[in-house]
Chains A and B, each alone.
Chain A
Amino acid sequence: MAECGARGSGSSGDSLDKSITLPPDEIFRNLENAKRFAIDIGGSLTKLAYYSTVQHKVARVRSFDLSGQDVAEQDRESPYEISVQEEVTARLHFVKFENTYIEACLDFIKDHLVNTETKVIPATGGGNIPHEAFAYQKDADPEFRFQTNHPHIFPYLLVNIGSGVSIVKVETEDRFEWVGGSSIGGGTFWGLGALLTKTKKFDELLHLASRGQHANVDMLVQDIYGGAHQTLGLSGNLIASSFGKSATADQEFSQEDMAKSLLHMISNDIGQLACLYAKLHGLDRVYFGGFFIRGHPVTMRTITYSINFFSKGEVQALFLRHEGYLGAIGAFLKGAEQDNPNQYSWGENYAGSSGLRSASPELCPTQRARSGTFDLLEMDRLERPLVNLPLLLDPSSYVPDTVDLTDDAQAREHWLTCFEEALDGVVKRAVASQPGSVDAAERAEKFRHKYWDKLQTLRHQPFAYGTLTVRSLLDTREHCLNEFNFPDPYSKVKQKENGAALRCFQRVVGALDALGWEERQLALVTGLLAGNVFDWGAKAVADVLESDPHFGFTEAKRKLEERPWLVDCYDRWLRRLKGPPHKCALIFADNSGVDVILGVFPFVRALLSRGTEVILACNSGPALNDVTYSESLIVAEHIAAMDPVVHAALREERLLLMQTGASSPCLDLSRLDEGLASLVRERGTDLVVIEGMGRAVHTNYEAALRCECLKLAVIKNAWLAERLGGRLFSVIFKYEVPAEVPAE
């Protein structure tokens, strides 16, 4: 971990004195571009929010202007050109810190805001004002749902544990009510803790508590009942009287034990009150927030225990990853009303947000100091609203991710190792993608550091960035790459592969057309799967592609598992194809090059020939070597020039290219571009095809739709293949027909 320690130059190590322990520009990122600024000075913490613009590089693709050039398209190496442009996007920053640092922070802020057109909005003060929570919730609802990962959000009880406790009943996005509170909260833990021990810092008190034995200080049921509690059906370990044993003059108590007893006392009390309020209002879910909870596994555990105990399991304790900004965010968004938040969606920038605070001493000191003192949340504004896929069977219960790595330790170890091992390759690729840049190598190293840090944090604290999934690992990597101005490291690779694949298109289509109907159906599917073998995202394949650039489409087909496949619904699919054509198919494409051009397009073409309309949905922004929407437009244009079927379909709008709204190798069907969703509805889509490991296995493997669905993937990871009961390059061909739709 030494390399982590070296980060954050100018930091004063792990000293937790009154100085800012890290360079303020790492905390108040991008402050000089702040357009709006809000501050909320609470009882013990200061929260601030600012809205800034970020300038970053984006890769654009553009068709060559063919007029005036006589080079035959077929001879050209690449089908389009790539340019890197500067783009300005909006970002929300939320920073939270203990009031101890307020002077130093305010000085820094003043210095940096002086020359900007800044509107300072005096926030409400008074810490945790739940009303604002709901302004926030309302305006950024998809984000919130994403964070909670709990679809049935209303109604619920919100318990905000700051210095004191506020309890709010939330019925809908607009209806909420302050129903009560308690003075025994985080301030009580901190204040009493500081009196009882030599420890004066909140985090250190928690750390102290985690090493203590409360039974030395608390009077337990067994202390009063002796051994008889068992025959009475009482749990002897229940606390009968907090601090009951300290009622004596002639005994010394350890600081750890007292801190632990205090922690239990306060957590239990809050949990009990929360249950009483939940019962009174008939609610079975309680969301906990506030600095007492935020990021502290210890308090989350004790609160959860308390809730389970007092409600006998009837009430569920839930936590948000980034809360406690509610006051600041609410005040902030009020000031930003003119922006009409309904026009946008917000997505968390994993690269800029801090993880949950750590009580783990193994983490390197700077990391601990920073995360323990300053909490950061960044959200990027996405230009278009994101909505559910209208075809989800039950949008409220849809969870995109197949495996929760927070729970599954074995899978977690595997994937973390996998991402660590792949890091070298990604760094190399990033440098290679910007041959003209002088600082590419340096930035790539910074990227390596940042992502490596995050992976190490996750090893110690799997829940550090919320629910840990393969998707979040992939997305975090993309965000970190963007952070260091590698908007599209695979742009060159994709360009080259698209060019090569386009050159083969006619040959592949010709061969398919020469086949008999039944043979052709299998070949189309095999082609789709073989194309999916071409994936730089999978290390097993990346190694092959790296060492053998001529790894061909035919070779890929040979690699594929023979039928019967690991999951093989092909016969059923074939029977279906003998029936009436689908009205409209929605296809989520995966990789650039062979995959989309020689796998997906021939399949699309066959569907079109059957009279089925096709919506081809690609990523809005780059992720790995996945085909982006802009690239798909150019690719389609080139194919149309060669193929009358595609040409006619594009012209007649029977083939429509759409963007998903995402920039991820995975697919979240609850966050799709609004335009795509309405088109799906308009066209009466009755078939959804999801292709690739990221979209059909890591996510959506269990997703239930209201229409027929094909989930296709080649398992390009030996460990995963084995876990699923197959081997490397096993095939998933899942054809699902919902119960109410007649199958054939």
Chain B
Amino acid sequence: MGTGLLGVLMERQGRAATTSASSTRDPASDEPDGRRQEPLRRRSNSASAPAVGDSALTEEVRRDRPGSYSGTTSVSRQRVETLRKKRPLFPWFGLDIGGTLVKLVYFEPKDITAEEEEEEVESLKSIRKYLTSNVAYGSTGIRDVHLELKDLTLCGRKGNLHFIRFPTHDMPAFIQMGRDKNFSSLHTVFCATGGGAYKFEQDFLTIGDLQLCKLDELDCLIKGILYIDSVGFNGRSQCYYFENPADSENCQKLPFYLKNPYPLLLVNIGSGVSILAVYSKDNYKRVTGTSLGGGTFFGLCCLLTGCTTFEEALEMASRGDSTKVDKLVRDIYGGDYERFGLPGWAVASSFGNMMSKEKREAASKEDLARATLITITNNIGSIARMCALNENINQVVFVGNFLRVNTIAMRLLAYALDYWSKGQLKALFSEHEGYFGAVGALLELLKIP
């Protein structure tokens, strides 16, 4: 990945680190109570709890944090002070390290006072500037600008929430950068979820001198979804569905207001798939999961077509015809199979035509990509439908990065769920597809319930 995203960051951090080191000795902002709530309630869960000495240092350092509200008047001061006490240091990140992608959400405070800005350590400032003034970081990091949530109030601070992703295999470089530029001196807390929070924990600690706050990925997912749904999407609805999903002419993406979100079946399609039944804010269970997920689609596409990116795979799929690859009901029965109520267009055997040499030769790469997409999507739809029936839930929300720029899959899920359930089940989608885990991790950092 070279010096792309992280390279720039590293450079700026370098300068920032020194500044920050000097500013930590500022005694001006001592708190009267001298104690601040330990923001990492889950930290005790982590395998290596920090030693007492470290803890004390952390407290001290936190007290040194530049106060931005020292000049405000009495009435609001108390409330603000309470918030401030609970508030962790900037920068505010939420990290979700998945099997394929790292999702990073970053809160950019927009209410920084001049005074605050002056006191802001250089490294913090550079991070903020760098992340918010770019849309791509190096060759692999991308900020999904269209997803940015504006004018959000978090812990009493107003700002914008940014959504950034980069491949998990660039994680070691990310950590190395943290080490090189002494990121740990910022004393920021990394709240991270996803399997990578465990996999890279030791690296964060030994290489980057950073203690990860590991969070349960399903907790974060649910928390993130409920929160994001509650704040909407810059005045629009977060949740949506498809009207006439099978009809290219009349298919419409329409907003859906989750007035009564429970119970809800949540299908998270990342590299693999997790399916959760959510009964209330704090009551959910993992119903099942399948290994046939986004990673399978992309992995098989790489093998079958030689494509190199997810976008390329989807682009090929959009030009392909899966019926050349799949064996349909009508290929076997000549039409509908009425006895079982099977329509002729239904797939009887995914890749079934590829048993024949002639048909293998006739199928294009695009056809294969399309068939792979259809196969994986239909299967997820089918498992989700069975889970919804077993759990007696009729609204199914599909999230996860498999659905990113993947209208084909979403429309197919919408159609399949509606068709096979005879209209009983509704497929819902959410604008921030793959970022809920990361948002949940950020909310944990901020102790937002």
Contact = CB atoms under 8 A, between A and B. Distances in A.
Interface of A: 42-44, 125-127, 131, 162-164, 178, 180-188, 190-192, 194-196, 200, 202, 217-219, 221, 223-229, 231-232, 238-249, 253, 258, 265, 268-269, 272-273, 276-277, 279-280, 310
A121 to B, nearest CB: 18
B386 A276 contact: yes
Contacts of B355: 44, 163, 187, 190-191, 194, 202
Contacts of B47: 228, 231
A99 to B, nearest CB: 9
A43 B299 contact: no
B327 interface: yes
A194 B98 contact: no
Contacts of A253: 303
B332 A240 contact: no
Interface of B: 47, 98-100, 194-196, 198-202, 270-272, 288, 290-296, 298-300, 302-304, 306, 308, 325-327, 331-333, 337, 339-340, 342, 346-355, 357, 360, 368, 375, 378-379, 382-383, 386-387, 389-390
A272 B290 CA distance: 8
Given A190-B355, A191-B351, A272-B288, 10 more contacts: A183-B349, A191-B355, A219-B99, A226-B202, A240-B291, A241-B291, A241-B296, A243-B300, A268-B291, A273-B383
Contact of A242 (B291, B332, B378): B291
Contact of B368 (A183, A195, A231, A240): A195
A221 B308 CA distance: 24
B349 A241 contact: no
Contacts of B308: 249
Contact of B291 (A164, A184, A218): A218
Nearest to A248: B302
A183 B383 contact: no
Contacts of A247: 100, 295, 298-299, 302
Given A183-B347, A244-B100, A245-B299, A276 B375 contact: no
A310 B342 CA distance: 27
B210 to A, nearest CB: 16
Contact of B326 (A178, A183, A239, A269): A183
Contact of A241 (B288, B299, B352): B299
B351 A195 contact: yes
B296 A225 contact: no
A27 B19 CA distance: 87
B349 A191 contact: yes
Residue picked from A186, A195, A196, most chain B C-beta under 10 Å? A195
A382 B387 CA distance: 47
A180 to B, nearest CB: 8
Contacts of B303: 196, 243, 246, 253, 258
A516 to B, nearest CB: 74
A272 B351 contact: no
A224 B196 contact: yes
A225 B195 contact: yes
Question: Which 8 A-B pairs give the minimum distances between C-beta atoms?
Answer: A191-B354, A226-B199, A241-B295, A224-B195, A243-B299, A191-B351, A187-B349, A228-B198
Nearest to B310: A247
A182 to B, nearest CB: 6
11 contacts: A42-B332, A125-B333, A131-B339, A183-B350, A183-B352, A187-B351, A217-B299, A219-B271, A223-B99, A226-B202, A241-B99
A126 B337 contact: yes
Given A242-B296, A268-B291, A276 B387 contact: yes
A185 B337 contact: no
Given A226-B200, A244-B272, A280-B389, A178 B340 contact: yes
Contacts of B292: 184, 242, 265, 269
A186 B348 CA distance: 11
B272 A191 contact: no
A188 B352 contact: yes
Contact of A265 (B194, B296, B348, B354): B296
A721 B339 CA distance: 58
Contacts of B199: 224-228
A219 B292 CA distance: 11
B400 to A, nearest CB: 12
Contact of B288 (A184, A242, A280, A310): A310
A240 B271 contact: yes
Contacts of A239: 272, 291
Nearest to B308: A249
Contacts of B299: 217, 241-247
A43 B327 contact: yes
A61 to B, nearest CB: 53
A573 B352 CA distance: 66
A196 B379 CA distance: 20
Contacts of A44: 352, 355
Nearest to A168: B340
Contact of B386 (A42, A162, A243, A280): A280
Residue among B298, B308, B355 with most chain A CB within 10 A: B355
Contacts of B382: 182, 273
A253 B303 CA distance: 9
A232 B198 contact: yes
A473 B375 CA distance: 45
Contacts of A248: 302
Given A131-B339, A242-B291, A163 B352 contact: yes
Contact of A277 (B201, B290, B291, B386): B386
Nearest to A163: B349
A224 B386 contact: no
Contacts of A243: 295-296, 299-300, 303
B271 A241 contact: yes
A246 B100 CA distance: 11
B363 to A, nearest CB: 8
B340 A265 contact: no
Nearest to A231: B47
B351 A126 contact: no
A192 to B, nearest CB: 5
Contacts of B298: 247
Residue among A162, A180, A243, A248 having the largest count of chain B Cβ atoms under 10 Å: A243
A249 B303 CA distance: 8
Contacts of B357: 200
Contact of B350 (A187, A219, A245, A272): A187
Contacts of A227: 199
A243 B382 CA distance: 20
A194 B354 contact: yes
A587 to B, nearest CB: 52
Nearest to B347: A183
Contacts of B378: 183
B368 A273 contact: no
B375 A244 contact: no
A243 B201 CA distance: 25
A249 B351 CA distance: 23
